[in-house]
Structure 1
């Protein structure tokens, strides 16, 4: 440890709360002190030349602060925002050595919560993060303008999502597994002035009940995902799915859908008990209206929730 004349002079004068003190050779702190610890506002210059300027508590970076890195004899801002116990924690902006910029929430030094990442090549992701990886709902916009809007898990596309191919004016809507499309529909995008999209049909394929087949495939994908992730009660066995599908078909209309108004009776036919208030709360949570139709895949998700799977 290198002695510091200013620090010891202040200490003799009963004023150790402001001054400079070098903890290790080449490092220096200038700022406020409390109980002989960095506490308040101060600037720390590290041995390799990096600098932190901001708030401290109990000898650790805590509060608002900015961290600069020394590169080519020039200081560049790397992170500005909230800190807790020497780690990024709260709202902050981070720019890495490649020029990629993240602005959003942090927990324990990792991206966590809502945030936006802008890559140097123009690609962006805006949405939810969990322990440093994309997790939850988000929007990924590629360098060429194509865009994915949907669910992520473990940093990859996983679950329901839409991929917009703006160069061809088409959109894929369906389930994604491990970053790749698993089953869904390929449609033309609605015109800019509004209107509805039209299904883009492949001439070599024709199904008499396409919606029912698609819903069944989506339900199987979701159940397989629940099994792989250790979903426990959230995943049904083959016999359970067969019973659920038979009940659904008995209530479905010609389009292979079930009206929301028939949902209570359908649930009760499976031997499940759910109060009207609880069911209404669930429907409000998923944004369903009284005159909406439910697909088989959506019904399976509802049964998972009601049976305590999530």
Structure 2
């Protein structure tokens, strides 16, 4: 009988260990202070935390090796930022307004055209910081795209309207129209 009780207690203890969240604070105060935190997706968040959320200047190292540094609020990206994708490509000057990883959000950026004031806004779903699912972007020069995203790029059916009014309605792969 004693062995049975020990066995049951060990089982309960083992299940409680495995049931614990994968979230954890690696360093500092991840509730109300400066710290480094691993979220449930395996992304590493560093900076100042308020009520357990990144607030102010901070950095995220995504599980896919991408990195984002900028200003966080409620826990979205806001303002000027720097993003390094998993291939090491650096994107400077991206301006986010309420883009929330894992939720429906919005991202605003300036097109990288020298001496250009073209500003674009994306509305759609983000998963692990990448555009995924149905989404739409529009630019103040008349360019727009509406369609399916995966891995942060247009992939699948979509409609691209260029600034001169030319329209491409068809399939996209890795962000580019598929010409047959």
- Find the counterpart in structure 2 of residue 88 from structure 1: 107
Q: Which runs of 5+ in 2 are unaligned?
A: 1-21, 100-105, 124-135, 147-159, 170-180
Q: Is the 8 A contact 1:104 1:111 kept in 2?
A: no
More strand by share: 2
Q: Which of 1 and 2 has higher RCO (CA within 8 Å, sep 6+)?
A: 2
| TM-score in terms of structure 1 length | 0.32
Q: 1:35 maps to what in 2? A: 51
Mapped contact 2:26–2:38 kept (Cα < 8 A): no
Change (3 A) 1:130 1:108: same
- Paired residues for 1:35-184 under 5 Å: 35-71=51-87, 75-78=88-91, 80-86=93-99, 87-89=106-108, 91-93=109-111, 104-109=118-123, 110-114=136-140, 127-131=141-145, 133-135=160-162, 138=164, 152-155=165-168
As a proportion of its length, which structure holds more helix? 1
Distance 1:61 1:21, change over 3 A: same
- Residues 128 and 155 of structure 1, relative CA distance in 2, 3 Å threshold: farther
Alignment length, in residue pairs? 115
Specify every segment of 5 or more residues in structure 1 that has no aligned partner in the other structure, as ranges. 96-101, 115-126, 139-151, 157-310
Q: Does 1:6 align with 2:27?
A: yes
Residues 81, 95 of structure 2: 8 Å contact kept:
yes
* RMSD between superposed Cα atoms in Å: 3.1
Give secondary structure in 1 for the equivalent of 2:27: helix
Runs of 4+ aligned residues of structure 1 deviating over 6 Å after TM superposition are none
Deviation at 1:48, TM superposition (A): 0.9
**Counterparts in 2 of 1:20 and 1:154: CA distance versus 1, 3 Å:** same
Question: Residue deviations 1:67-88, cap 9 Å, x none?
Answer: 21122xxx22146321122242
